[in-house]
Chains A and B, each alone.
Chain A
Amino acid sequence: MMKKIGRTKYGITLPLMFVMVCLCAALVLGFALSAQKTVRAECGSEELTAFLESEHFVGETIALPKAQIKEGNETYETDVALIAPDGRMYAGNSVTLTDFGSYTLLYTAKNGETDSQYKEPFTVKQYLYTASGEQTEIGFGAVSSLTEYPAEGRSGMVVDIAENETVYANTVIDLSDYMAEDDLFRVSFLPHALGTADAQFVYITFTDVHDSSNTLTVELRYSPDGNTTETCRVFAMFYASGQGKQGLEYMPAGNGDFTYDGKSYKRHQNDGYGGKAAASMQGYNPLTITLNAEDVGTTDIICRFDYETKRFYYGENIQQGVNLANDLDDPNLQSTLWQGFTTGECYVSVSAGSYSQSHCRMLFTHLAGMSLAENGTIADTEAPVITVDDSDLAAADYAVIGKPFAVPSATALDSYAGECPVAVRVYTAYGTSTQALVAVENGSFTPIQVREYTIVYTAEDYSGNIAEKTYTFEAKERTPETDMKVSYTKPSSLAVGQEMDFGTFAVDNANGNWYLTLRVSFGDESETVAEISAENATDKVMYRPMVSGTYTFTLEYRDYTNEYTDEFDVEVSADGDPILLVEPQLPRYIIKGAQYTLSELCGYTFENGTAQETPATLYVTETKEYSGASPVTGNLVTVSEDWTECWFTYVLGNTVKQYRVPVQDVGYGASGVNIYKYFTGFSDAAVEQAQVSYTVAEQSGLYSLDFINALMMYGFGLTFTVPADAEFDSITITLTDKDDPSVVLTTVLSAQSDGSIVMESNGARNVFTAKFYGSTISFAYSDESLGTSIDGGANYYSVGDGWEGFPSMRAWLSISFNGVTGTPKITISRVNNQTIGYIMPNGTAQDVTAPQFNTPVSEGYQKIGSEYALAPFYAADVLDPDITVSMSVTLNGKYITSVDGTVLQNVSDVEREYTIRLSDYGAYAISYVVSDSVGNRSTYLYAINVVDTDSPTVAFGSHAGEANVNESINIAEITVTDNVSAAENCTVRIYVCSPQNVFTELEGESFVPETAGTYSVWYFVTDEAGNCTFAHYDIVVS
């Protein structure tokens, strides 16, 4: 029969349990002992001798053996206490041992009869495998000798786990070097009733040695018997703590719903399946689907794990070997990525759930490389690992005589004992015959002479393994020559609005870490200009005064040795030149003849030494020369001349900024435009009715196409065909925000070795079964879903963390070609809702497509009286930069005024937020009309529903609280109050609830109780909007 193994738990996390704890006694005893000297004396008894000769194991409850101290002819009775490996002391009759390692019995004479003490160490061992309860059995050896099954003579560890119990492997295993070909476990099932699974779930859990909340779980799942088309299966889910259950089921026929590394899988989440292994919890031969005792326990489930890639592999005997079952740190599969165990070290445990029998029995032939031949004991031979805090170590390079030197902090981590206490001592002449101990107070020691001081850290684990780590520091006298020096550029006087340049701060002679803070004060105000340490020492420090006057700068810096302060003034004169600090938002291209609306560019002028915001003057010219040109009035710009480029010149006083913008003639304004010209950068464009094939020109080593108008990103689409013989290996689609060029979404589409498409958007990688070459790809991006797609938006894939969309909701499109081997060619058929091709016989296209826009909605019911912020509205037309938008907000046909006083009737500035107060019930209608310059028009409407969702309230009039059987009871009159409905328009239904909880609707105003007990009168009141309330009171009938 199998051996029953006692209960245990991981010792490092659980306190000792003991039958009779007397903490007070232990504390008192401990205190008393500290004042006594420990004297080697003779102490013993037969009971103690027997105890020490016996082996002791974790989980055992021991009676502390009694003994007597003998001194000469005197014999003293003793008190006994137990010192556990973690140093805690216990007194009492018995103690349950929960940690393995070195224990000590401490004997002290009763009543202070003698001050002799006696210590007797002993060792507590731990079995390799234990169970959490008494009913589980663990056996080792041939299955035939442990069970009724022959199992082809196989042997291993047979566990028979009782319900609600768990089998623990108590030795630490290190998964950090596990690779894809390494078995994590091999298991088969030995059901108690052939044909019936003992349990529906088996959990194999790996728990971080140093963080018990960090776990990996393989959840094996029962599946009904196989049939003629499917073998018997054991499904499995794989997940780390914080992750959802997931398992990839390999579909060799390619009919899965998820492609990964070119293979087809069914991706199981939140369902009853998972990764698949040909096996049976019921004892079937999984392949022949027959039930024979001879087959039981002969087919292993294999699970493998690659720690570096965090991938599980599962299920040999499926057609293609052991298959990928999950990747725990792949963002394509996980919303929360698993980062691994603290050190790779972990424990493993096995449990089961949903039992149909009292026990669940299985055979392990491999379990994380541990011995399965016998239940040996585990030994901890590794000392703890001491880690000294790097930042503390860097606090000083040497000690200074007379200055307290903080001893760097350290921690020690042991695989079994967890975090161990670290003892720290400081010596002079350490390791020599003259070594001397130096006092450490409040975590510091103070050197008193020039010499070396050695800090010695030691830590001991429960099994007596000791680790040591030393650091030696030199102690010096402080001299001015060795003090920290800081050199930097002090700005001289300058004009207001100009930037002060402090350059970088050079630090010399710093003793360890150093810190620098530059503050400025002006009048009553002060601010920190810069905080600098070694990490950002190369940053330049700048400061721009915006008001003339005297600025006082204070520089504070410090290291271990000392603290220093410098202070200086800088005079700022009032004669500053105007400045332009921001960049204008200009179109990337100008379409000849189209009207652009530009925002004003403001800078600062300094009259009387004070900054004043002032708009710059704009000139638009063919060349950089703008003298003689007329400034632009208003904010509308149109370039109608045959320019190939134009210059935007902003002038503020003597300050001038100039920008070049190419001009493109697409025939704008004519009845038909050359639509293919909206792309630039091609050497040849073959225009067809529904598409344009571009041969892309080389420019400065790049092959790229730009679209010349900003495009809507709410639902961006680009449809193109990659030729089967394309002479490039990938395409990059770059979308740059129209107003903020720092916001860029870069998507690279390329082919895997098997030709299937790989899409990487800002680094987020997805692989598809569709082919790259010869395919028409409908690339899409949505600012709503923040994802990209290759199927026109049917399925979006996340761009990745940190991507928040395009602030202006419009972007410039560029397409570039990589790995070009010849002449890159591409056929483009659609951009957003616009066909790229010709429509008219002359090869041009008439713009008949209305602008696009985002579609704000109002979600849910809004509360009466609340304020509601209307979402900004953005629109853009693929071909036309000149669009107009008009917004109105009405309730019952009347225009609404926003809280800032704007009457929301045909408002054109819609990219800002308006807030309205919802003062009345009803549906507020928000309507937009969007038009381009040739009259293509769209409308959009949504509603804000302000609905009465408040229930009426009921107040009772006077009513009886007690009554008698068979006597009529008048019910209470009630007062109904509702926020909208008049009381008379509310519906009131009255029910009497009997003591048996039977509700009867009451027609009149009284009722006669027929039995004793507690009756309730219930009022079910509904207002005109359908809001209801229930109110009741009780009547005790006797």
Chain B
Amino acid sequence: MKKLTALLLAAVCFVGLALAGCADNNKQGQNGGTTTDETLPNAANHVIEMTETTETVAQNGTTEYKILIPSGLSYSSLVNVAARELQLFLGEATDAAFEIVEDTAYSASGKYISVGETAAAEAAGISVDYATVDAQGFVIETEGSNVYILGAEDKGTLNGVYGFLEHTLHFDYYFEDSYDLDKVSELPLYDYHIVERPDIPVRASGYGYASNYNIETQYRYRTVYRHDFQLPVTYNGKTSSTHTSLLYIPEAVYGEDHGEWFADGIATQLCFTAHGDYEEGGEYDQLVETAAQALYDNFDADETESYYVASFSLEDQDGTSWCTCDACKAVIDEYGAQSATLILFINDLAECLKAKFANTQAEENATEAEQAHAEHMRGLADRFILTTLVYRATEQAPYTTDANGNKVFSEDMKLHPQVAPFFAPFFARYTGRTFDENGEYVTLTDWGELSETLFFWTYDTVFSNSMLPFYSYNYLQRLYQIAYEEKVYYHYNQAQYFNRNSTAWAVLGGYLNAKLGWNCYADVAELTEKFFNGMYGSEGGEMYDIFRSYLLYNNYQVKELNYSGGIGTGGDNSAKFWPRAFVYGMTERMYAARVRLLEKGEMTAANNIELELVSPLYFLILHYSSTFDTQTLNGYKNDYRAFVDKWEINYFSESQTMSSFIDGFLQ
């Protein structure tokens, strides 16, 4: 639902409010979690200074401003997307038509909102420091009558447009067709000095509805699709960007000549010591060289030249077995964990790859494009990040203990500066406790001792049952703060990535993940209230109240009913945890809210409730069918099927399609 919050406000009111906000320590910018509170640890990431000028950007549905972009961009380039997004939302807010022009059409007498690396930005001296904003941050500056939005990379520019809309028009995006945006008859020009860098530099959405299923939501959440960030590799028709080592080193290709490269006692893993053949030019060197070349070739084939992160990770996805050869055993014994063999190898691999990048040269008669590509490859030498999963078999960081029981981390185990362990705490519990109350928190800090860069993979759903709320509401903020404190560079909170849309408060989860990844000290309660009002319109208060009832009940579930709250505990759907009175009450309240919305013509909000109804309907049908007459029960069943179909909840669990589940369930 488009919440046009200021529709009835006269322009003068808006200006007055804006002025008041600006005078109050730049609170104008405080929307959706941005902050200029200098006492917070992340204050430097969110510098927001805006002063209203006497000029206007748009007035009474007209504007002199055009959106300026660099010339020659492809339609699908992120800067082009950014310009279109700006055009769309500025137009909606002001009723003015903002034309997009390339900077070849720039006129000194014109007025522009410049997006990306335009010639005008360069001429105005507007630049952005990668070290300050990283790949996804941005600056917004006013120079003369022009505004410049610029990231160090295109994704940063796109994020900058959303930042501009957020700070200027209180834009906040919740879900398809549900967002906040002020509607103004006059939009003043502000003197902007905004520099923002996300607290977690790269954030991948783990929710299907905000990832590859819906690219707009992914953009507006300022997240990335995880496979768009890590270079994918394909072998024999299988593509992955996570479990990759055997795609780079296929046993079918190398097994016959290099049996030492493959693990003993486990079929689908490399032996990272190559069975101890460390002779110069021996099997270990060849393995490192072959892996590095495969990685290099894969980067070389990347026509987008957008990737700088690649994974070289264990293959046996959910196992804990490891190579049992003597050489591996010796390393493990010496350093204290299975991950030691991986660390030694990955460090060598990173150094070898770095050299290959650095030594890249174009052919003598290379075209300009080929020369530019060679330069890009050389640039990767200092930029690439090689990540490797530390998960299940390699989850524990290697250390020994001294006589006093203190941990001793060997220098040999320190990770190469361009290697990032990708920590995935599979067994951590997220419901009913905060992350730092889990033993895995210590493991995270252990890896922090060994690496300058951390990647973090957490979980935000019950993978065996998409209908269950996995309630992480009270742990999310601390999780992101810990990630920020531990200098996590990349975070992926894996939720129902497999579902196009998810029920059981998952949309709120995805939204909060997006907001907290950007600013981990944002006010979660305020965000939550905004979310409910944005999603459910005039029934926002009622839905928020239902949600808070659930939060209370979840507290009761955990403390008094021993609710598990694990990511694989499908048994948490038992009737014991979901008594009829609670589920029925929640269902009927949602239905009643939906009816009221339909009567008012708030169709989008009513539709959004349908998605949320799927979860309680599941419990009612699962446990309490016999308590309803056929007509009522069939109504519930029909709605369940209709809502599931309409919202394309494709999977009942990570491994079971909804189509294979639903007929039996509703029989």
Contact = CB atoms under 8 A, between A and B. Distances in A.
Contact of B551 (A357, A951, A989, A999): A999
Contacts of A991: 552, 555
Contacts of A947: 627
A1026 interface: yes
B585 interface: yes
B599 interface: no
B51 interface: no
A135 B525 contact: no
Interface stretch (B347-355, B408-416, B444-452, B657-665): B657-665
Contact of B641 (A270, A945, A999): A270
B54 interface: no
A270 B663 contact: yes
Interface string B602-629: 0000000000000000000000001111
A471 interface: no
A1016 B663 CA distance: 43
Interface stretch (B140-148, B269-277, B316-324, B574-582): B574-582
User: Which secondary structure dominates chain B's binding surface?
Assistant: helix
A859 B630 contact: yes
B556 interface: yes
Contacts of A272: 650, 657, 659
Interface string A337-359: 00000000000000000111110
Contacts of B628: 859-861
Contacts of B650: 272
A255 interface: no
B596 interface: no
Interface residues of B, number: 43
B655 to A, nearest CB: 14
Interface in A258-275: 270-272
Nearest to B500: A354
Contact of A997 (B473, B500, B632, B641): B473
A135 B645 CA distance: 30
Interface in A977-1024: 989, 991, 993, 995-1001, 1013, 1016, 1018, 1020, 1022
B72 interface: no
Contact of B581 (A135, A998, A1027): A1027
Contacts of B645: 270
Given A860-B627, A991-B552, A998 B657 contact: no
A951 B586 CA distance: 12
A997 B528 CA distance: 9
Interface in B564-592: 579-582, 584-585
A1030 B553 CA distance: 10
A999 B555 contact: yes
A859 B548 contact: no
A236 B533 CA distance: 40
B525 A997 contact: yes
A356 B215 CA distance: 9
Contacts of A996: 477, 524-525
A191 to B, nearest CB: 14
A1018 B548 CA distance: 10
Given A997-B474, A1028-B581, A271 B525 contact: no
B433 interface: no
B50 to A, nearest CB: 26
Nearest to B630: A859
Nearest to A195: B234
Interface in A852-890: 859-861
Among the interface residues A859, A861, A995, which one has the most CB atoms of the partner chain B within 10 A?
A: A859
Contacts of A271: 657, 659-660
Given A225-B237, A997-B474, A1020-B552, A861 B627 contact: yes
Which of the four size classes fits the interface of chain A? 35 or more
Interface string A114-139: 00000000000000000000010000
Nearest to B528: A997
A1028 B629 contact: no
B62 to A, nearest CB: 13
B552 A358 contact: no
B213 interface: yes
Nearest to B659: A271
A999 B524 contact: no
Interface in B633-667: 633, 641, 645, 650, 657, 659-660, 662-663
Contacts of A1018: 548, 552
A756 interface: no
Contact of A1020 (B473, B553, B580): B553
A995 B548 CA distance: 12
Interface in B505-564: 524-525, 528, 548-549, 551-553, 555-556, 559
A272 B629 CA distance: 32
Contacts of A860: 626-629, 632-633
Given A225-B237, A859-B629, A1018-B552, A997 B524 contact: yes
Contacts of B580: 949, 1026
B528 A1001 contact: no
A663 B628 CA distance: 49
A951 B585 contact: yes
A1013 B582 CA distance: 29
Contacts of B245: none
Contact of B662 (A225, A270, A1020): A270
Contacts of B641: 270
A951 B581 CA distance: 8
Contacts of A861: 627-628
A860 B636 CA distance: 13
Given A271-B659, A860-B629, A861-B627, A999 B579 contact: no
Nearest to A1027: B581
Among the interface residues B234, B237, B626, which one has the most CB atoms of the partner chain A within 10 A?
A: B237
A712 to B, nearest CB: 22
B632 A1030 contact: no
Contact of B552 (A357, A993, A1027): A993
Contacts of A997: 473-474, 524-525, 528, 548, 551
Contacts of B528: 997
B369 to A, nearest CB: 16
A358 B579 CA distance: 47
Interface in B189-238: 212-213, 215, 234, 237
Interface in A369-408: none
A1030 B626 CA distance: 25
Interface string B72-108: 0001100000000000000000000000000000000
Given A861-B627, A947-B627, A949-B581, A1030 B549 contact: yes
A1025 B581 CA distance: 9
B5 to A, nearest CB: 21
A282 to B, nearest CB: 10
Given A951-B585, A993-B548, A996-B525, A358 B627 contact: no
B371 to A, nearest CB: 23
18 contacts: A270-B641, A271-B660, A272-B659, A354-B500, A358-B75, A358-B76, A860-B632, A945-B627, A949-B581, A949-B584, A951-B581, A991-B555, A996-B477, A996-B525, A997-B473, A1016-B548, A1025-B581, A1032-B548
Interface of B: 75-76, 212-213, 215, 234, 237, 473-474, 477, 500, 524-525, 528, 548-549, 551-553, 555-556, 559, 579-582, 584-585, 626-630, 632-633, 641, 645, 650, 657, 659-660, 662-663
Interface of A: 135, 195, 225, 270-272, 354-358, 859-861, 945, 947, 949, 951, 989, 991, 993, 995-1001, 1013, 1016, 1018, 1020, 1022, 1025-1030, 1032
Given A272-B659, A949-B580, A1026-B579, 14 more contacts: A271-B660, A355-B215, A357-B76, A860-B628, A951-B581, A989-B556, A991-B552, A999-B551, A1001-B555, A1020-B553, A1020-B556, A1022-B581, A1028-B579, A1028-B582
6 closest residue pairs by CB, A with B: A271-B659, A859-B629, A358-B76, A860-B629, A860-B628, A1027-B581
